[in-house]
Chains A and B, each alone.
Chain A
Amino acid sequence: MIKNNLSTIIITVITATMGVIAAVSFGKMHHPEELFPSEGLTGKVMLSDYFEGIKGTNGDTEVYLFDSGVEGGTALVCGGAHPNEAASFLSAVVILENLRVTCGRVFIIPRLNNSAFTCSDPMEGFPASYEIPTKYGTRRFRLGSRVTNPLDQWPDPLVFSQYPSNQQLSGFETRNINRSYPGRADGNLTERIAYAIVQLIEKEKVNIAFDIHESSPEVPIVNVIVYHENYEEVAMGAILGLEMAGLQFSPETSPKNFHGLSHREWGDYTNAIPFLMETSNPSMGRLRGRTDVDLVLRGYCDNYKKAKETGALRIAYREDTGEPIAHRVGRHIAGVVELINSYNLYYPDMQIVIENLPDYDMIMEKGVGEFLNN
C-alpha cells in the first residue's frame, strides 16, 4: 500500500513543506519592522485617533510627533504610500530617526498605507524584504506592494470610479492610496485611510505636507517635485536652492483634472501646501532584469544603461553609478529640507525649523545605514 503510493506521499510532503516555508516567509510581512525615533520625538499616536473608521484594521498606522514647543508652522512627512518604493519609506525613517525640531511641529507617518506593507505585488518577482547594515547591526525592512493588501480590501471593481470626482480608472487603482484622496468616511479601506490622513491635516492645521515616492526610470515624472498651482513660488524657490546644492529637480504642476492624488486633493481640500517627490528606481521599471535586493539597493541595471544609450526614450538613469538607495534617500531628504527652507521664506510667521538631518553628500559618503538607529 505504502509502496504503491510512495510517490504521492513524497510529492505531498514536499508540497506541504514548501507551503509551510512560504507561509512562514509570507507571514513575516505582517511583522512590522521596529523603528527607533530620535530623542526629539515628543509623541506618538495612531492614525485612527483622527478617524475611528480605520481602528483595528491593517490600515491603521503610527503617527510620530516632533513638537518643538515653540510656536510656528506644522509639517507632515509621509513615506510608504507605495511600500514597493523603498526610498519612500527609508527617507521617512531616516528623518524619523535623526530629526530635531526647534520651531513649530513635524508629524511623520512612515507607513502611510500600512496594509500595503503586508503583501507584495503578484507576478513581479520582488524580494519580500531587504537589509541595511548599520552601526548597530543589520536591519531588515519589508518591500511591500503598491496597493492595499487584497486580504484587507477585495474584490476590485472592473472600473474604479474615484470619489468624489467620478474619474474612471482601472479597477486595481481602487486599492491605491494615491488615487483615493480626499477619501470618504464610509468608503472602502483605502478611501478610509485617505480620509483619516485628510482629517489629520485638517485637525492639526498642517501647513506643508510631503508625499515621498519613487518611479520607473522610463516614466516622464521622475526626479521631480510636483506642486499644487497655488504654491508655485515655494516649489520654484526650492528647486533653485537644490540646484545650487548640485541636485537637479524638475518642477511639475499638479494636473487639475487628474484626481485622487495627494498633490491635487490635499491642496484642494485642505489648507496644507502639498508636495510630491519622485526618485528613479530601476527595480520598478518594465525594462529591469533580475529583480533582487541588489537591484533595489544598488539600483544598477545594464538594461537601463543600454536603453539610455539608444536615446529613444528619456531615461532618468545614471549610466555609471545607477540609482543607489543612498542617492535616492539623499535626494528626498534634501528636497524636504529645501522645500521647508523655501516655505519659511514665504511664510515667516509660521516658521518650521528642523535640524540634524544628514545632507545628500553625507548620505552618499557614509550610506543610509549610518543614519539609522538601533
Chain B
Amino acid sequence: MKTRIATYVTITILFLAGTSLLAQKFEQPVLISSAGQSADVKLVKMLAQRQGLNATTVLMAKPEDLTGFKTLVIVPGFSSKGLGAAGISQQDELERVQSLIKAANDLKIPIVLMHIGGNARRQGQSDSFNQLVADNSKFMLVVKQGDEDGFFTKIAGARNIPLTLVEKIAETAEPLGNLFK
C-alpha cells in the first residue's frame, strides 16, 4: 500500500513538474508589438529573426492583428520620438495597448514581456507601460539593468509569473528561442 501511495505521489510530482515546464512553452506564429513605441521592439525583431522564429512585427498592433497568432510578445518602453513618429499621444498608445492585451486575454493568446531597454526604459513615462504588460504576461524576459530596483521581480513574485533575467540584450536571444522549442 505504502509503495503504491509513494508511486502515485512521485507520478503526481513528475506530472506537475512537467506541466509547469510545459506552461513556459509557447507556440508560433508570434506577433511582436511595442508598448510605448520605443525602438527596442526593432532589436527584439532582429533577435527573433536570428532565432529563426516565425514572427511578425507590428509596431502598433490592434486586436484584429492577433488573428492567426499563438503568442504575443510585447516590448514595453516609452519613447517620445517613437510616439512622434507614430503621430500619437501617450494616452492613445496606452489605450491601444490595453485593448490589445484585453483581446489577447479573451482569445487566450499568452503574452510574453521582453524588457531590454535597461534603465533608459524605466520610471518616468515608461513604467505605466511596463506595469500594464507585466501584470498581464505569462512570461517575462528582462535585461537586469531594467530590474535594478526589483520592479519586475516583485511583479513576477506577486503574480507567480516566470521571470528570466539576463545581463545583456544579446543574451535574451537564446531564452527567447527556447520559449518556443
- Which chain B residue lies CB-closest to A241? B170
Cβ A243 vs Cβ B81 within 8 A: no
Q: How many A-B residue pairs have CB under 8 A?
A: 85
- Which chain B residue lies CB-closest to A233? B46
Cβ A314 vs Cβ B79 within 8 A: no
- Which chain B residue lies CB-closest to A311? B123
Known: A244-B168, A255-B84, A258-B84. A220 touches B42 (CB 8 A): no
Cβ A240 vs Cβ B81 within 8 A: no
Question: Size band of the A side of the interface?
Answer: 20 to 34
Q: Which residues of chain B come closer than 8 Å to A254, judged between CB atoms?
A: 81, 85
Q: Which residues of chain A come closer than 8 Å to B39, judged between CB atoms?
A: 227, 232, 235, 250-253
Cβ A250 vs Cβ B85 within 8 A: no
A240-284: CB near B (< 8 Å → 1, else 0) gives 100110001011111111100000000000000000000000000
Cβ B170 vs Cβ A221 within 8 A: no
A198 to B25 CA separation, bound complex (whole angstroms): 51
Say which residue of A250, A256, A257, A313 sits within 8 Å of B40 (CB atoms): A250
Cβ A248 vs Cβ B145 within 8 A: yes
Is B115 an interface residue, CB under 8 A from the partner?
Answer: no
B84-110: CB near A (< 8 Å → 1, else 0) gives 110100000000000000000000000
Cβ A257 vs Cβ B84 within 8 A: yes
Is A223 an interface residue, CB under 8 A from the partner?
Answer: yes
Is A316 an interface residue, CB under 8 A from the partner?
Answer: yes
Cβ B46 vs Cβ A248 within 8 A: no
Is A239 an interface residue, CB under 8 A from the partner?
Answer: yes
Chain B residues 86 to 142 lying within 8 A of chain A, measured CB to CB, are 87, 117-126
Closest CB-CB distance, B20 to chain A, in whole Å? 32
A contact patch SS? mixed
Q: Which residues of chain A come closer than 8 Å to B145, judged between CB atoms?
A: 248
Closest CB-CB distance, A137 to chain B, in whole Å? 39
A237 to B41 CA separation, bound complex (whole angstroms): 14
Most chain B CB within 10 A, of A235, A254, A255, A256, is at A255
Is A236 an interface residue, CB under 8 A from the partner?
Answer: yes
Cβ A252 vs Cβ B42 within 8 A: no
Cβ A253 vs Cβ B120 within 8 A: no
A78 to B38 CA separation, bound complex (whole angstroms): 26
A240 to B46 CA separation, bound complex (whole angstroms): 10
Cβ B43 vs Cβ A251 within 8 A: yes
Is B80 an interface residue, CB under 8 A from the partner?
Answer: yes
Cβ B87 vs Cβ A220 within 8 A: no
- Which chain B residue lies CB-closest to A227? B39
Closest CB-CB distance, A285 to chain B, in whole Å? 15
Say which residue of B42, B120, B123 sits within 8 Å of A223 (CB atoms): B120
Q: Which residues of chain B come closer than 8 Å to A258, judged between CB atoms?
A: 81, 84
Is B152 an interface residue, CB under 8 A from the partner?
Answer: no
Q: Which residues of chain B come closer than 8 Å to A220, judged between CB atoms?
A: 78-81, 124-125
Is A95 an interface residue, CB under 8 A from the partner?
Answer: no
Cβ A243 vs Cβ B120 within 8 A: no
Q: Which residues of chain A come closer than 8 Å to B42, judged between CB atoms?
A: 232, 235-236, 251, 253
Q: Which residues of chain B come closer than 8 Å to A227, judged between CB atoms?
A: 39
Is A226 an interface residue, CB under 8 A from the partner?
Answer: yes
Known: A255-B85, A257-B84. A236 touches B43 (CB 8 A): yes
A240 to B50 CA separation, bound complex (whole angstroms): 13
Q: Which residues of chain A come closer than 8 Å to B117, judged between CB atoms?
A: 250
Q: Which residues of chain A come closer than 8 Å to B121, judged between CB atoms?
A: 250
Is B155 an interface residue, CB under 8 A from the partner?
Answer: no
- 18 additional contacts, CB 8 Å, given A254-B81, A311-B123, A314-B122? A220-B80, A227-B39, A235-B39, A236-B46, A237-B46, A239-B169, A240-B170, A244-B168, A244-B170, A250-B39, A250-B120, A252-B79, A253-B39, A253-B81, A253-B82, A257-B85, A312-B123, A314-B126
Q: List 26 A-B contacts (CB under 8 A).
A: A220-B79, A220-B124, A220-B125, A221-B81, A224-B120, A229-B85, A236-B46, A237-B46, A239-B43, A240-B169, A243-B170, A244-B170, A248-B145, A250-B40, A250-B79, A250-B120, A251-B38, A251-B42, A252-B79, A253-B81, A255-B82, A255-B84, A258-B84, A314-B119, A314-B124, A314-B125
User: Which residues in A have some Cβ–Cβ distance to B below 8 Å?
Assistant: 220-221, 223-224, 226-227, 229, 232-233, 235-237, 239-240, 243-244, 248, 250-258, 311-314, 316
